[in-house]
Amino acid sequence: MKRIYMDHSATTPVAPEVLQAMLPYLSDKFGNASSLHSFGLEAKEALEESREKVAKLLAASSEEIIFTSGGTESDNLALKGIARRNKDKGKHIITTNVEHPAILETCRKLEKEGFAVTYLPVTSEGLVDLAVLEAAIRPDTILISVMHANNEIGTIQPLEEIGRLAAERDIYLHTDAVQSVGKIPTDVNALGVDLLSLSAHKLYGPKGVGALYIRRGTKLESIVQGGGHERGLRSGTENVAGIVGLAKAAELCCEGMAVEGQRLTKLRDQLASLVLGKVKEAWINGTMKGRLPGSLNFGFKYVEGESLLLFLDSKGIAVSTGSACSSHKLQPSHVLLSLGLQPEECHGSLRITMGRSNTTEEVDYVAECIVEAVERFRGISALGRK
């Protein structure tokens, strides 16, 4: 059976060009970037070239990029690093209640350390209300962290406006841009962010590597102590092959973003109209106006997302219910609840995130299978017969 992968927000396959770029650094070019001999220099050069490529994708300078082990670590470094280093200026942090657990759990940890955190609600469209954000700012607010695009529903936050609010008040602004980098423009100056997290495996790079953009002059403390790598902000021998892979992936995204974005937007809208045209009491979670190109989150009444997922899997189609990281939990998604959905409405959700491999024929087939699945499960569900 042909398999169709539509779960790109969980992870993406490594692009063939990325794998090719990495291979030498897993064999002959194995040097430690801190060594002074030719093996070390070779690794060091690869590291610095990679830094430039990643910086280019963000319109940043290479000195502003720190390599990490991924999105989770970048988020931890940004939040703990800023909070602990700037606690004399204030101990208040603002974030939203639709963030990834890498942000939410880090905030809970900081609360235990004595920081106060405001978790902003979002509108039924999934967006931060700027007036609500502005009202939450206090004299002791040192950091605002708002994700760029949401991993469950794909909605894009008004970061530019938030950036202006933060800059006027000299408050650091961090964004978890793990889902947006490589898919939509992420120019750090246009967005007005001081820190930005990204992860390679969400943009056709390898797992276990990512980066944190840190605007020049931003003061933060490291969370990993050791040999002082990455300007003392992230000790540990660099994952050279992984970093080279991240850079190649960034380069490919830079080149193909506009064309691929348009293509995925068409596929997304095709799938939404095919499914919503045939299934009653179904909707899209989050606004359709500003969302990631390949990303849709359907809501269906009277069915369990889990049943739909398993049925689709039996047809060779890989999708997800909430986010991959929280799908082992039985509680409804915190993101969907934040939109104001009832718990039973959250349970009938299906996240479909398309990427490079997907085609319009696949979209037709997936739409057919979704319609079939919903009809079948509604037919055997007591609620569905009401």
Positions marked catalytic: 325
**Helix residue ranges, H only, the chain:** 16-22, 38-58, 71-85, 101-112, 130-136, 159-168, 188-191, 240-278, 305-314, 334-338, 343-347, 360-380
Smallest gap from Cβ 178 to ligand PLP, in A, equals 4
- Determine if 205 is a binding residue for ligand PLP (CB under 6 A): no
Applying CB under 6 A, the span of 115-123, 126-134, 172-180, 298-306 interacting with ligand PLP comes to 172-180
Site track for ligand PLP across 326-365, x = CB under 6 A = ----------------------------------------
The binder of ligand PLP chosen from 12, 86, 106, 199 (CB under 6 A): 199
Q: Which of 44, 80, 92, 202 binds ligand PLP (CB under 6 A)?
A: 202
Min dist. Cβ of residue 100 to ligand PLP (A): 3
Q: Which lies closer to ligand PLP via its Cβ, residue 91 or residue 100?
A: 100
First to last CA, the chain: 36
CB 212, min distance to ligand PLP, A: 12
Buried b (16+ CB within 10 A) or exposed e, 298-307: bbbbbbbbeb
Burial of 120-152, coded b for 16+ CB within 10 Å and e otherwise, reads bebeebbbbeeeebeeebeeebbbbbbbbbbbb
- Among 31, 182, 206, 210, which residue interacts with ligand PLP (rule: CB under 6 A)? 210
Which of 56-64, 67-75, 290-298, 329-337 is the region at the interface with ligand PLP (rule: CB under 6 A)?
67-75
Question: Of the ranges 71-79, 105-113, 114-122, 260-268, which one interacts with ligand PLP (CB under 6 A)?
Answer: 71-79
Asked if 250 touches ligand PLP (CB under 6 A), the answer is no
Q: Could you tell me if 246 and 209 are in contact, meaning their C-beta atoms sit under 8 angstroms apart?
A: yes
When asked if residue 176 is in the footprint of ligand PLP (CB under 6 A), the reply is yes
C-alpha distance from residue 117 to each of 120, 123, 148, 171, 304 (Å)? 9, 19, 19, 14, 34
Closest CA to 258 of 176, 187, 154, 182: 182
**Size (the chain), residues:** 386
CA distance 353 to 359: 13
User: Are the CB atoms for 230 and 66 separated by under 8 Å?
Assistant: yes
For position 71 contacting ligand PLP by CB under 6 A, the verdict is yes
Q: How far is CA 274 from the centre of its chain?
A: 27
Nearer to ligand PLP, 102 or 214 (CB): 102
Choose the stretch contacting ligand PLP; rule: CB under 6 A; options: 58-66, 85-93, 175-183, 285-293. Answer: 175-183
**Cα radius of gyration rounded to whole Å, the chain:** 21
Residues near ligand PLP (CB under 6 A) are 70-72, 75, 100, 102, 147, 151, 176, 178-179, 199, 201-202, 210
